[in-house]
């Protein structure tokens, strides 16, 4: 688990910037729920969500919709090893959240 | 026995009587990042932080966590532990979502014979989770509290911390605020007892300012006398109400 976190963190290391974008993801039953917002509290209106598995393989790319949350079905196979969810809103605003297997298991049982 | 010996020895080495009492809530991490896990440890105590002297903390009247305006009662989650050689409490708490988590404790009234008064320190501390700070400036509506004007985490040593002292929801003009460093490893030395507990006063709007000279945990205690008394030995005794906030200042870092 620690190796996964370190590997994913290194791959997804971004430079710090003003108007920081914060990304959080959780699992709600069979769905992954992604939340992205700027440090100002505003929700990004455009951008892209990229979902990677623990081997850094890109699983899916989704557009942001301007809503506070974005949901997509949890891939049960990839879920066993964890996911990295990146959000890019352009202009250098990027952030990620790592859903660990423990996070996923906790969300599936809620 | 061990605690008494340690406390006595420490006091003797410092060559001074114990200074201010502080309610304390100290988390293992004031800013939890996602690669550091999903849990923090907290210790609750009633102590003399600069001298690292513990006192007995009885089970608090209340202890809880506020996040995004919702309070979670954590009193039953507390487990007994030893802090600075005396009875305290601890717990491990999962932080589910990003944002600011505010931990608050109302202790039982502590009878202090030397001051002929009871002491109640409404104590709180702040933890940000996963890079988000929303909620750091919220007012909880405690009997007395310090409402932060500076974000109470993510401060460099040398930064100022500002807060408003409130009692029953109203600012307290010229409130006296005691400031003390949690001298956990006893490395800090005070050339005078006056520098173990420093004192600043708020302005006419209840706003006080303090610049921390050193990284670590700093406690701010705004003390006021309650408008009620409590009985002790058949007499009505005054009650000192403390609004205590613990703030962590970070060491300036370079590569």
What is residue B7's predicted lDDT score, i.e. its pLDDT? 43
Question: With an 8 Å Cβ cutoff, is B37 touching chain A?
Answer: no
- pLDDT of residue B19 exceeding 70, the answer is no
Place of tokens 């949901």: A71
Task: Count structural domains, chain A.
Answer: 1
Q: Mean of the pLDDT values across residues B154-175?
A: 98
For residue B24, pLDDT beyond 70: yes
Residue B99 Cα, gap to closest chain A Cα (Å)? 10
Burial of A21 (0-12, 13-18, 19+ CB in 10 A): buried
Whether A103 shows a pLDDT value over 70: the answer reads yes
For residue B18, what pLDDT is reported? Answer: 57
Q: What is the ipTM of this complex?
A: 0.79
Check CB contact under 8 Å for B130 and A22.
Answer: yes
Q: Please give the structure tokens belonging to residue B227.
A: 């408008």
**Contact partners, residue B34, CB within 8 Å, separation at least 6:** A97, A98, B130, B131
A57-102 confidence digits (pLDDT tens): 999 999 999 999 999 999 988 888 999 999 999 878 899 999 999 9
Q: What is the pLDDT of residue A109?
A: 81
What are A's interface residues with B at a Cβ cutoff of 8 A?
Answer: 5-6, 9, 20, 22, 24, 26, 39, 41, 95, 97-98, 102-103
pLDDT score at B175: 97
Contact B34 A98 (CB under 8 A): yes
Interface mutation target, options B31, B33, B34, B130, chain A, most CBs of A under 10 Å? B34
Q: Where is pLDDT greater, at B89 or A107?
A: B89
Contact state of B97 with A26 under an 8 Å Cβ cutoff = yes
Shortest CA gap A64–chain B (Å) = 20
CA B4 – CA B236 distance, rounded (Å): 31
Per-residue pLDDT at A110: 67
Instruction: Quickly state the pLDDT bin for B142 (edges 50, 70, 90).
Output: very high
Residue A7 confidence (pLDDT): 44
Among A11, A17, A22, pick the best mutation site for testing chain B contact (most B Cβ within 10 A): A22
Tell me how far apart the alpha carbons of residues B233 and B241 are, in angstroms, rounded to a whole number: 20
Say what the pLDDT of residue B2 is.
39
Mean pLDDT of B9-30: 71
Beta strands, E only, B130-215: 144-148, 155-156, 160-167, 170-171, 176-181, 198-201, 207-211
**Residues with Cβ within 8 Å of residue B114, at least 6 apart in sequence:** none
Does residue B34 belong to the interface with chain A, where contact is any CB pair within 8 Å? Answer: yes
Statement: residue B60 has pLDDT above 60? yes
Q: In chain B, which residues have their Cβ closer than 8 Å to the Cβ of A24? A: 97-98, 130, 132
Digit-coded pLDDT (tens) for A4-47: 444 444 444 444 445 789 999 999 999 999 999 998 889 999 99
Report residue A83 as tokens.
Answer: 């996911």
| Rounded CA separation A101/B38 (Å) | 13
Instruction: For chain B, give the percent of residues with pLDDT over 90.
Output: 89
Which of the two residues, B9 and B98, has the higher pLDDT score? B98
Provide the residue ranges of all domains of chain B, joining segments of one domain with +. Answer: 2-250
The contacts of residue B70 (CB under 8 Å, 6+ apart) are none
Q: What are the C-alpha distances in Å from B171 to residues A86, B145, B149, B203?
A: 44, 10, 13, 10
pLDDT at B73: 98
Q: Which of B33, B67, B131, B136 to mutate to test the interface with A (most CBs of A within 10 A)?
A: B131
pLDDT for res B217 = 98
Residues spanned by the domain of A8: 2-109
Q: Is the pLDDT of residue B194 over 80?
A: yes
Contacts of B68 in chain A (CB under 8 A): none
Whether the CB of B29 is below 8 Å from some CB of chain A: the reply is no
pLDDT at B59 over 80: yes
Contacts of A39 in chain B (CB under 8 A): 132-133
Is this structure's pTM higher than 0.90? no
- Of B7-11, B54-58, B240-244, least confident by mean pLDDT is B7-11
Q: CATH number for the domain including A12?
A: 2.60.40.10
Using pLDDT thresholds of 50, 70 and 90, give the confidence band for residue B10. Answer: very low
**CA dihedral for A58, A64, A65, A71, sign (positive or negative):** positive
User: What are the Cα distances from residue B246, in Å, to B26, B181, B216?
Assistant: 7, 10, 10
CB A96 within 8 A of CB A86: yes
């Amino acid at each position: 688990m620690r190796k996964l976190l370190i590997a994913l963190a290194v791959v997804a290391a971004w430079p710090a910037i003003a108007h920081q974008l914060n990304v959080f993801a959780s699992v709600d039953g069979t769905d992954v729920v992604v939340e992205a917002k700027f440090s100002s509290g505003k929700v990004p209106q455009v951008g892209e969500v990229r979902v990677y598995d623990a081997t850094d393989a890109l699983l899916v790319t989704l557009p942001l919709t301007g809503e506070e949350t974005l949901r997509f079905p949890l891939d049960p196979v990839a879920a066993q090893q964890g996911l990295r969810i990146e959000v890019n809103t352009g202009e250098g605003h990027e952030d990620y959240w790592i859903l660990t297997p423990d996070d996923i298991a906790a969300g599936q049982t809620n | 026995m061990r605690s008494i010996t340690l406390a006595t020895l420490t006091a003797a080495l410092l060559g001074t009587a114990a200074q201010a009492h502080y309610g304390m809530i100290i988390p293992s991490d004031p800013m939890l990042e996602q690669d550091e896990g999903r849990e923090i440890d907290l210790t609750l105590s009633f102590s003399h932080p600069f001298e690292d002297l513990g006192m007995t903390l009885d089970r608090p009247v209340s202890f809880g966590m506020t996040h995004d305006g919702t309070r979670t009662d954590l009193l039953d989650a507390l487990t007994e532990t030893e802090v600075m050689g005396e009875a305290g409490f601890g717990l491990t708490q999962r932080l589910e979502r990003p944002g600011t988590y505010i931990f608050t404790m109302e202790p039982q009234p502590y009878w202090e014979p030397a001051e002929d008064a009871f002491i109640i320190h409404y104590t709180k501390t702040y933890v940000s989770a996963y890079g988000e700070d929303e909620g750091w400036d919220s007012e909880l509506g405690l009997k007395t509290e310090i409402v932060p004007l500076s974000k109470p985490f993510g401060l460099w040593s040398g930064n100022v911390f500002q807060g408003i002292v409130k009692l029953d929801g109203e600012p307290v003009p010229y409130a006296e605020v005691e400031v003390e460093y949690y001298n956990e490893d006893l490395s800090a030395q005070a050339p005078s007892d006056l520098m173990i507990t420093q004192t600043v006063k708020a302005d006419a709007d209840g706003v006080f300012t303090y610049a921390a000279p050193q990284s670590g945990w700093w406690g701010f205690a705004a003390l006021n006398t309650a408008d009620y008394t409590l009985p002790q030995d058949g007499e009505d005794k005054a009650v000192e109400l403390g609004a205590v906030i613990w703030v962590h200042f970070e060491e300036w870092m370079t590569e």
